[in-house]
Amino acid sequence: MYEDYRSLRVELRGATLWLTMDNPPVNASTPELRDDLDRIFREAGRDDRVRCVVLTGAGNTFSAGGDIRRMHRMLEDRADWLLTMREARTLVTDLLDFDKPVIGRINGDALGLGATLALCCDITIMLDTAKIGDTHVRMGLVAGDGGALLWPALIGVTLARRYLLSGDLLTGSEAAAVGLVTASVSVAEMDTVVDTWVRKLSTGATHAVIGTKRALNMTLRQQAAAYMDAHLGLETMSYLRNDHREAVNAFLEKRKPDFSGQ
């Protein structure tokens, strides 16, 4: 069990399953990583030894979101784009449906879909100097693969508008101050604080914790079922626009995009 993962390091430490996204250099969300995460949450859900999960990133990044090289290929490959939308939907619903508590150890930047992954976690401990943000609009895309669902639920509509419409980033300290994450910590404090939450959640009353998480996530799960297809449809409409093509090309050419509104 927990073998043959391609972009994920998996380690069972007592009653806690540690998941480390390991997709150098920035743990981008590739099909391999999404498949690994889909599989691990299904396996961990069936494993009675696991009472909580820690999700983190290898190196100095949590996850930088979408793979820009794949984005460039998808400009001409619409079938692959539709596959990506299905992958994103599965990833978000897997995390919301997973009953056991998940601690996000946000050890570095969490951007785009990487931010969505982080914010699907139940307890989020973030490095104070790391950056988090849903940068879809910067890439000419609608924040459809979780951002429009999660951010209003966590920080309210007014602040969600502030950050999703601009694509602006927050530091860990700023994210904690507005309630986007549970806590921000220094590098020296990170493991101590995560370990404290691991002890709380892995030694608590298991079924009470699971039931409480299920109750807390009930509205989000209902909203995901009702709206995510529409959100992803809006994202797909923006994918077809010239502004997205311009954003991808500008990123690869290391220049500022010139959005035409087309």
pLDDT one-digit tens code per residue, 194-224: 999 999 999 999 999 999 999 999 999 999 9
Whether 52 is in a domain gets the answer yes
Whether 145 is in a domain gets the answer yes
Banded pLDDT at 114 (limits 50, 70, 90): very high
Instruction: Work out the angle at residue 33's Cα, subtended by the Cα atoms of residues 29 and 39, and round it to the nearest 5 degrees.
Output: 135
> By residue range, what is the domain housing residue 136?
8-203
Banded pLDDT at 62 (limits 50, 70, 90): very high
User: Is residue 156 helix, strand or coil?
Assistant: coil
The mean pLDDT value of the chain amounts to 96
| Per-residue pLDDT, 3 | 87
pLDDT over threshold 90, residue 151: yes
- The proportion of the chain whose per-residue pLDDT surpasses 70, expressed as a percent, equals 100
pLDDT over threshold 80, residue 1: no
What is the tens place of the pLDDT at every residue in 214-260?
Answer: 999 999 999 999 999 999 999 999 999 999 999 999 999 999 999 99
The conformational region for residue 179 under phi > 0 = left, psi -120 to 50 = alpha, else beta, is left
Domain count, the chain: 1
Whether 195 is in a domain gets the answer yes
On the 0-12 / 13-18 / 19+ scale of CB atoms within 10 A, 5 is middle
CATH number at residue 134: 3.90.226.10
Whether 62 is in a domain gets the answer yes
- The proportion of the chain whose per-residue pLDDT surpasses 90, expressed as a percent, equals 95
Sequence-separated (6 or more) residues with CB below 8 Å from residue 44:
17, 50, 53, 98, 100
Q: What is the rounded distance in angstroms from the CA atom of residue 94 to the CA atom of residue 61? A: 22
Q: Can you give the three-state secondary structure of 22-91, one letter per residue?
A: CCCCCCCECHHHHHHHHHHHHHHHHCCCCCEEEEEECCCEEECCECHHHHHHHCCCHHHHHHHHHHHHHH
Whether 109 is in a domain gets the answer yes
pTM above threshold 0.75: yes
Whether 240 is in a domain gets the answer no
